[in-house]
Amino acid sequence: MLASSAPRKLIIATRQSALALWQAEHVRARLRALYPASTVELLGLTTQGDRTLDQPLADIGGKGLFIKELEQAMADGRADVAAHSLKDVPMEVPPGFAVAAIMAREDPRDAFVSPRYRSLAELPDDSSVGTSSLRREAQLRERYPRLRVEPLRGNVNTRLHRLDQGNHAAIILAAAGLKRLGFADRIAAMLDPAESLPAIGQGALALECRADRRDVIAALAPLADDATTLATTAERAFGRALAGDCRTPLAAYAEERDGELWLRALIASRDGRQVLRGERAARCSDAAAARELGEALGAEFIARGASAVLGDTAGAR
């Protein structure tokens, strides 16, 4: 899209947490550079996911609660685009909306944060590890059953504050959020994907708009990153194949290796006693091939008994 044909004004809907505002400001800066004649503004909103912090996210409706108010603002015409962490976007985008662009990925790994210890292996028995993610919880319980995994909600600053108050010996957070907010020095260790497989879409930013806003879709297209889009397309296709939601300890991470897209995935019971892992690689030159890769790995998981693990997960809700 030429700068002269870009919308004269773009309003970005965003949550008001520090990380969400960083993401929205990042998008605004990119759009201003592309379209200097356009006005780009932010619309800060508080979502139900932000307001309800005393219950596990899985029990109150899932990560979709972080985006519903933003979608309503776009439906009402108060905003043109919403900036999301891709891992918060449901596998099926609601009718009438579209993910117009997926931006270049930050570090997708999980980070171990502790003021005293340098690794999970160093933690004494019965140490408290805080996390808000069932995916992380299941992998921690599988590998470190001697540790005590406890829920930890709130924004990044709140979680770090609770750690500093001594509520936990360590916490696990997404490295991307820590780095974006200038907290990279708080990371004691990075967790290799082999130890803690990332969430689907972790580290990537998604730009959502109304499906009928062709002008906005065209304006956002230059912000898309091809490699990140292919990788996360495969990851999300796997998630859809397994009907994964935030109540399912589910992980998938794709990266380029030797000219192929290498997709690793797992599904687990929350207690970590059942963990199903798999991987598959293929040459993927477009989104259709990436979707096929994710769907094929999902079909393989189902053939290997993923439904039994999903059933246990459902029974534990």
State the pLDDT at residue 208.
98
Whole-structure pTM value: 0.90
Same fold, 3-103+204-224 and 110-191: yes
Does the domain at 3-103+204-224 match CATH 3.90.226.10? Answer given as no
| Range in 58-62, 172-176, 238-242, 264-268 with the lowest mean pLDDT | 58-62
The pLDDT of residue 317? 40
Residue 82 in this model has a pLDDT that exceeds 90:
yes
Of the listed ranges 10-24, 55-69, 241-255, 287-301, the one predicted with least confidence: 55-69
CATH of the domain spanning 110-191? 3.40.190.10
**Which CATH code, of 3.90.380.10, 3.40.50.300, 3.30.160.40, 3.40.1260.10, is assigned to 233-315?**
3.30.160.40
pLDDT in tens, 277-313: 999 999 999 999 999 999 999 999 999 999 888 776 5
Poorest-confidence range of 16-30, 39-53, 205-219? 39-53
CB count, 10 Å around CB of 9?
A: 10
Tens digits of residue pLDDT in 146-171: 999 999 988 999 999 999 999 999 99
CA distance 27 to 254: 24
The verdict on whether 50 is a catalytic residue reads no
CA angle 290, 294, 297 (to 5 degrees): 140
Distance CA 255, CA 261 (A): 6
For the cut 90, the answer to whether the pLDDT of residue 130 exceeds it is yes
Alpha helices in 52-155 (DSSP H): 68-75, 134-143
Tell me the pLDDT tens digit for each residue of 227-285: 999 999 999 999 999 986 557 899 999 999 999 999 999 999 989 999 999 999 999 99
* Structural domain spans, the chain: 3-103+204-224, 110-191, 233-315
pLDDT in tens, 184-233: 999 999 999 999 999 999 999 999 999 999 999 999 999 999 999 999 99
Q: Please name the residues in contact with 217: beta carbons below 8 A apart, sequence gap of 6 or more.
A: 98, 100, 209
Buried b (16+ CB within 10 A) or exposed e, 240-258: bbbebbbbbbbbbbbeeee
Average pLDDT over residues 87-99: 94
When pLDDT is cut at 50, 70 and 90, the band that residue 7 belongs to is confident
pLDDT value of position 243:
81
Interatomic CA distance for residues 315 and 186, integer angstroms: 37
What pLDDT does 232 receive?
98
Angle at 187 between CA 123 and CA 235, to 5 degrees: 100
Confidence check: pLDDT of 314 > 60:
no
The pLDDT assigned to 313 comes to 56
**Average pLDDT for residues 94-122, to the nearest whole number?**
97
Q: Residue 121: is its pLDDT beyond 90?
A: yes
Find the catalytic residue in 50, 80, 88, 110.
Answer: 88
pLDDT of residue 57: 47
Closest CA to 117 of 171, 153, 178, 173: 171
- Percentage of the chain surpassing pLDDT 90? 84
Check whether 144 has a pLDDT greater than 50.
Answer: yes
Average of per-residue pLDDT values in the chain: 91
